[in-house]
Amino acid sequence: MIEFVIPGLCLLACIVSMLLLRRRRHRPLDYALQLAIWLSAWMLWQPPAIVTAGRHADLNREDLAGALPVNLTGVKNISLHGLPPGRDALRDLAPVRLDLSNAQISNAGWRFHWQRQITLGETLQLQIHSNQPLAERSRLNLLNPYGDIEQSIELKAGEKAQAQLGALPKLTGPQLYRVQIENATGESRFEPLPIVVLEPRQPKVLLWLARPAFESAALSRWLRQSGVAAQVMTQLAPEITRKETLNGLQLTEPQNLLAETNPFDLLVLDSALWPQLSSQQKQQLDSLASNKSLLWLVSGDAAEDFVQYSATQSMPLQKTGSTEPDIRNSTEFSYQGANSTATLSLRTHGFQVAQPTSSDFLIGNRGNPLFWGRSRGTQHLGFILFSDSHRWLTSGFASEFASLWKSIFDYQLKHLGTQQPITPSGALPRAQERITLCSSQFSGASPQLLDSRNKSQPISGGHAGTNAQGQCHTFWPRNAGWHQLKTENDGGPVFDFYIFAKEDWPLWQQSLSDGEAQQMATARLGPIDNTHSAKVPIERQWPALILLLLVCISWWRERALLR
């Protein structure tokens, strides 16, 4: 509203001044003077863009820290001097062309990678890599939270660093490991290695069979002995179903077993069930593909509709003609035990894998596998193409039977507790710098970042849109160390998150900034050159000076007329 009020007041005052001058019969110069006065008053409120903008700017890394200290409106090229800034600082710039000829770009290319979140029982693995040969000999020690050395490695001078360190955490919760880097002169640096160790999640398994069989009976017995909470459903007759819960599984009745809200993490289904499923249940199977793990026990007499279902899941199966186990399509397994060597075999019957990809998980020969599994984020789909592993139990190879099925179940359930709930905008979120955190666990309200040392002053986040990882929020943490990210609801998830100090991992920080600046320099495009040069508003002191000068001239002329 004010953008129309002030110009209107200036115009009204100018008209009134003209009418007053007309009554006193002033000269045309006085009319022009009054017009210029009120025009300069309007220019004081909204300076016109009549000055040609600069086409080039020189900036250092410090200039891009926080808010930009210079007006970059209309600037086409920017030359960066000194160490290049990170992605967040460069992203705030207008679409300009970045010149890195004067920037201190290092070709060291250090990279470090470790699991920020693992499950208790998994091994922490730190991978180290550099693109350039080392200038001096270095020694790396991986220290646990108590300061004890878990593993060490020595990197030789003149060689590229390609190493891996590991440790086995023994407690759950946020833990801070450290990496001690010793150079040839004996000087040491300690770099933080934060991880969050989670409690192993107890999976729930549903075994739904269309008929009793030796293989399913052996699998049910193994589930009971393994301690996995499971339910076994067996169709004894068209209207008779036997249900059995194993290892203390608690269920509320009734249960829609194929609904997305079912309590099971893994559904092991018999392919012979397919003709018995209703059209609604088959549609539910398609929706389960987004958040559940499905494992099919494929029998040799599987219906043609089931084959079409596998094709719609982009995992087509092909019939081989025979529905009985074919000894010609057997796959042998060799096990080296403590006291003996055993060679075992399994046979497929009726189906072969049609289009496996390089990322699929296969057991047996690639041309004729016994198990075919594919991972799609949090969902895993697998087909078991054998049905005679129960013979191993009667032959005295119970441990081999358990090892085979454990490898299949581990793959089908590997997504439980291992996915990263928070995706940061950078590999090293640092104190007093902006970080963007994205998660599918965030609700509409902005979460709060709590410093573990001072939880009484939470840091509120700003909404930053959404992406493939979920909602994103931006924070400016004040201190380094462990923080907790808490959602609005008290019962919502609480995530432990580590903020690094600005001096942590200096070589890695420089390598990350170098790569991000080079990527941004190739992606940024300046404005298109044309006949209309970019203009910027003039500074307000010039309209104020003009107004003061015109008022003085008007006063001098009125004084002369009064004499």
What value does the mean pLDDT of the chain take? Answer: 79
Same domain, 479 and 388: no
Is the Cβ–Cβ distance between 81 and 89 less than 8 Å?
A: no
Taking each helix axis from N to C terminus, what angle separates 398-412 and 214-226, rounded to the nearest 10 degrees?
Answer: 80
Same domain, 286 and 238: yes
The band of 1, judged by pLDDT with boundaries at 50, 70 and 90, is low
Taking each helix axis from N to C terminus, what angle separates 28-45 and 541-562, rounded to the nearest 10 degrees?
Answer: 150
Same domain, 44 and 55: no
Same domain, 379 and 434: no
Same domain, 172 and 216: no
Is the Cβ–Cβ distance between 265 and 203 less than 8 Å?
A: yes
Short-list 509, 458, 513, 511, CA closest to 192: 509
Same domain, 408 and 309: yes
Residue 186: how many CB atoms within 10 A of its CB?
Answer: 7
For the cut 60, the answer to whether the pLDDT of residue 528 exceeds it is no
Same domain, 242 and 387: yes
Tell me how many domains the chain contains: 5
For the cut 70, the answer to whether the pLDDT of residue 50 exceeds it is no
DSSP assignment string, 107-119: ----EEE--SEEE
Backbone angles phi, psi at 358, to 5 degrees: -65, -25
Q: In this predicted model, what pLDDT tens digit does every residue of 243-299 receive, in sequence order?
A: 888 888 877 665 678 887 788 888 999 988 888 888 888 888 877 766 788 999 988
The band of 162, judged by pLDDT with boundaries at 50, 70 and 90, is confident
Q: Which amino acid is at 251?
A: L
Same domain, 43 and 56: no
Residue at 345 is within a domain: no
In this prediction, residue 527 carries a pLDDT of 47
- Distance separating alpha carbons of residues 363 and 370, to the nearest angstrom: 6
Omega prior to 194 cis, within 30 of 0: no
Is the Cβ–Cβ distance between 345 and 392 less than 8 Å?
A: no
In this prediction, residue 327 carries a pLDDT of 46
- Label the pairing between strands 481-486 and 448-451: antiparallel
Residue at 453 is within a domain: yes
DSSP assignment string, 457-517: EEEE-EEEEEETTEEEEEE---S-EEEEEE-SSTTS-EEEEEEB-TTSSHHHHHHHHHHHH
CATH number at residue 439: 2.60.40
In Å, what is the CA distance from 249 to each residue of 130, 199, 231, 246?
50, 19, 7, 6
Residue 344's DSSP bridge partners are 333
To 10 degrees, the CA torsion angle through 272, 275, 277, 278? Answer: 170
In this prediction, residue 290 carries a pLDDT of 66
- Total-model pTM: 0.59
Residue at 234 is within a domain: yes
Same domain, 267 and 310: yes
Residue 83: how many CB atoms within 10 A of its CB?
Answer: 17
- Distance separating alpha carbons of residues 397 and 388, to the nearest angstrom: 13
Q: Which domain holds residue 36?
A: 2-48+549-562
Short-list 206, 182, 178, CA closest to 265: 206
For 112-137, letters b (16+ CB in 10 Å) and e give bebbbbbbeebebebebebeeebeee
Residue at 543 is within a domain: no
Q: In this predicted model, what pLDDT tens digit does every residue of 409-463 receive, in sequence order?
A: 888 887 775 555 677 878 899 998 888 888 877 776 778 888 888 877 888 888 8
